[in-house]
């Protein structure tokens, strides 16, 4: 279902300089309409963010593709995602052969996505909690992707990154953020690159916004 729409979306991503073939292949395969409320199904392959209920959104496909490409992952890499939401970003990563650990703070969203992943046999480890403090148990991670906007870079996430690993996080105020890509060059040595201008829902937690 919607195969030609997915192909058109992938062509649009290519036109916007998404070149990683593993990312593009995952976008061809993962059925975004299944991650949305039924009433929005026909909008699934437009390159826009859409509501998923409980005041949250599924990110714009370009943003998902861009952030995934920035992680520069190899098959078998271990990634921590903060903000499971609909599960679409996690499913893209799983499809690329990545081992995914994902944290969501809102119970209703977590419970719904967990049930959906079980039904669809999407193999990712999901947890309910505050992702701003990471998930130490399975650290270090080759990549950490934060899918909500943060006022600053959570120290816990930098700590839980493997050497050579990358953290992709939108940082800014509540209306616009700069996508910040941090590479852990060595213990306590980080390089940073910044790409304006993105808009995400707020990252709420101990090392994020208060509410
Ligand atoms: N990655 C998601 C997807 O593919 O649908 C999009 C996520 S949505 C833009 C951001 C999500 O981050 C929301 O579901 C929100 O509840 C969650 N969130 C906000 N603060 C969080 C935190 N501290 N820990 C975990 N999840 C958080």
Task: List, for residues 127-171, the tens digit of each pLDDT value.
Answer: 999 999 999 999 999 999 999 999 999 999 999 999 999 999 999
Tell me: the pLDDT tens digits for 83-113? Answer: 999 999 999 999 999 999 999 999 999 999 9
pLDDT at 149: 97
Q: How many domains does the chain have?
A: 1
102 near 126, Cβ under 8 Å?
A: yes
Strands 78-82, 141-146: pairing kind: parallel
User: Pairing relation of β-strands 78-82 and 99-104?
Assistant: parallel
Residues with Cβ within 6 A of ligand 1? 56-59, 82-83, 85-86, 88-89, 103-106, 109, 130-132, 147-148, 200-201, 203-205, 208
- In a domain, residue 175? The reply is yes
Q: Is position 206 within any domain? A: no
Residue 116 belongs to domain with CATH number: 3.40.50.150
The confidence score (pLDDT) of residue 145 equals: 98
Report pLDDT for 201.
94
Instruction: Tell me which residue has its CA closest to atom 2 in ligand 1.
Output: 85
pLDDT at 51: 96
d(CA 148, CA 150): 6
Is residue 52 one of the residues assigned to a domain? yes
Q: Could you read off the pLDDT of 10-43 as tens digits, one per residue?
A: 999 999 999 999 999 999 999 999 999 999 999 9
Domain span at residue 115? 3-198
Q: In angstroms, rounded to a whole number, what is the distance separating the alpha carbons of residues 97 and 157? A: 22
Instruction: Tell me, yes or no, whether 27 lies in a domain.
Output: yes
Does 156 fall in a domain? Answer: yes
Assigned domain for 154 exists: yes
pLDDT tens, residue by residue, 170-180: 999 999 999 99
Q: Is 59 tagged catalytic?
A: yes
- For residue 118, being part of any structural domain is answered with yes
Report if residue 26 sits inside a domain.
Answer: yes
């Amino acid at each position: 279902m919607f195969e030609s729409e997915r192909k058109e979306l992938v062509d649009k991503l290519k036109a916007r300089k998404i070149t990683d073939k593993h990312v593009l292949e995952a976008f061809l395969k993962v059925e975004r309409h299944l991650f949305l409320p039924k009433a929005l199904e026909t909008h699934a392959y437009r390159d826009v963010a859409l509501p998923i209920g409980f005041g949250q959104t599924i990110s714009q496909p370009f943003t998902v593709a861009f952030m995934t490409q920035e992680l520069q992952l190899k098959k078998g890499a271990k990634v921590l995602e903060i903000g499971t939401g609909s599960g679409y970003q996690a499913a893209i990563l799983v499809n690329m052969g990545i081992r995914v650990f994902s944290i969501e703070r809102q119970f209703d969203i977590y419970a719904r996505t967990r049930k959906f992943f079980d039904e669809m046999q999407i193999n990712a480890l999901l947890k309910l909690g505050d992702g701003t403090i990471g998930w130490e148990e399975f650290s270090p991670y080759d990549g950490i992707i934060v899918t909500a906007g943060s006022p600053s870079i959570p120290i816990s996430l930098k700590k839980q990154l493997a050497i050579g690993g990358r953290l992709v996080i939108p940082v800014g105020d509540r209306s616009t953020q700069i996508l910040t890509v941090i590479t852990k060059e060595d213990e306590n040595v980080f390089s940073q690159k910044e790409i304006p201008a993105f808009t995400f829902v707020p990252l709420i937690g101990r090392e994020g916004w208060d509410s």
